Structure 1
Amino acid sequence: MTDINNLDDSNNSKSHRNCIKQWFLQDSKELDPDFKNNMLVVATLIVAATFQTGINPPGGAWQDTKDGHEAGKAIIASSHHSLPYCPYNLFLILNTLAFSMSTQIILMLVYHKRLYFEVVVATISMVATYGTAVWSLSPKDDVKLRYVSMAALFPYLWRLSYQAFKTFTKKNETTK
């Protein structure tokens, strides 16, 4: 772990900048092990928090069907009567984006490690559970599931396009 008291040290600061640069430009296997461990902890905490808020949205769910509300649907989804947008849609899109980005980070950091297949299966199961819970909590006519789906797929498509670009540029460099 990094010593918090020495964060102002210029060598340590350069090391952190190099880790961040590697994070965006290199494969995760080239990262400093302490940095990888810290990122894994942060990503896991974000996954836990976003999963919990996804399956138990702010305000909870309606307990019974009356006054135009359906039991089991998110209360926050019905709070848009005076707003030009539904706060639940925005909440759900941003929460799903954070959840998906964090799961992608976890999968990237544990790639090439033992039990990777098991981590992938567990992650897919957790993502399916999240999606099922969100779908069951969302009113049928309110949530724009295409936007939620785009938020869920964005981190994976972004990483895939980055890897494709990286592979393409490496092939072009070797043919020159």
Structure 2
Amino acid sequence: MANINDNHVDDDRSNIISGIGKPIKQWFFQDFDQNSEELDAAFKNNMLVVATLIVAVTFQTGIAPPGGAWQDNKGHEAGKAILASNHFHLPYNLFLILNTLAFSMSTQIILMPVYHRKLYFEVVVATLAMVATYGMAVWSLSPDEEVRLRFVSMAALFPYLWRLSYQTFKTFIKKNETTKYIDS
């Protein structure tokens, strides 16, 4: 008897969790009819706007970190981030990792909808130029070369490696499910 109730509770939870997405979309896009194609298009457009805003903000904070940069050489190196002047560099390193992660994830979100569409090459070149500019700015502001290379590289590559591993795993699972049904 306990097993039946446990299964019923699990089913209720999964139904609630899976049903959350639709009301949220309806609430955010109240002007649209219940047509899911319109909702999906509006969602994609809104995600592009949000991703673009995040890229702009993270780019700006990457080239002008909180606290700014030292202007003189009195006890520190001019042009280096003031936030990094802490002996442990922990606040700056944490800022650098999180800001770069948000920047990289947002650039990935911008590139995904234009994949294999008109002007894809141009968007990729512009995005790569922006990423290179961000990287050079962060590189020049950071005091420790080894740390900045390691942290920036890991944070910048993480979203792309995550997407690649997710797509690979998804394809692997799909192939195994197809093979399983064919063998049965």
Q: Decide: shared fold, TM above 0.5.
A: yes
Question: 1:24 is matched with which residue?
Answer: none
Name the CA distance, whole Å, in 1 between partners of 2:89 and 2:84.
10
Question: 2:172 is matched with which residue?
Answer: 168
Question: 1:33 is matched with which residue?
Answer: 41
Kindly provide the CA deviation profile for residues 78-111 of structure 1, in whole angstroms up to 9, marking residues without a partner as x.
Answer: 0x24xx6521111000000100110111111222
Query: TM-score, normalised on structure 2?
Result: 0.74
2:41 maps to amino acid: P
Question: 1:76 is matched with which residue?
Answer: 83
1:160 maps to amino acid: L
User: Shift in Å at residue 130 of structure 1?
Assistant: 0.5
Counterpart among 106, 126, 133 of residue 110 in structure 2: 106
The alignment partner of 2:96 has SS state of: helix
Counterpart among 51, 65, 88 of residue 43 in structure 1: 51
Alpha carbons 1:96, 1:148 under 8 Å: kept: yes
2:104 maps to amino acid: S
The alignment partner of 1:32 has SS state of: helix
2:23 maps to amino acid: S
Q: Which runs of 5+ in 1 are unaligned?
A: 1-9, 18-28
The alignment partner of 2:42 has SS state of: helix
User: Shift in Å at residue 174 of structure 1?
Assistant: 2.6
Kindly provide the CA deviation profile for residues 53-77 of structure 1, in whole angstroms up to 9, marking residues without a partner as x.
Answer: 000101111112122x111111111
Name the CA distance, whole Å, in 2 between partners of 1:11 and 1:97.
26
Alpha carbons 1:107, 1:119 under 8 Å: kept: yes
Name the CA distance, whole Å, in 2 between partners of 1:101 and 1:72.
27
1:72 maps to amino acid: G
Structure with the largest fraction of helix? 2
Question: 2:156 is matched with which residue?
Answer: 152
1:93 maps to amino acid: I
Question: 1:121 is matched with which residue?
Answer: 125
Change (3 A) 1:173 1:147: same
The alignment partner of 1:57 has SS state of: coil
Alignment of 1:84-103 (within 5 A): 86-103=90-107
Alpha carbons 2:142, 2:148 under 8 Å: kept: no
Could you say which structure has the greater relative contact order, defined with CA pairs below 8 angstroms and 6 or more residues apart? 1
User: Shift in Å at residue 172 of structure 1?
Assistant: 1.9
Change (3 A) 1:121 1:127: same
Question: 1:3 is matched with which residue?
Answer: none
2:127 maps to amino acid: T
Once superposed, which parts of structure 1, at least 4 consecutive aligned residues long, lie more than 3 Å away?
Answer: 14-17, 141-144
Name the CA distance, whole Å, in 1 between partners of 2:70 and 2:89.
20
User: Shift in Å at residue 156 of structure 1?
Assistant: 0.3
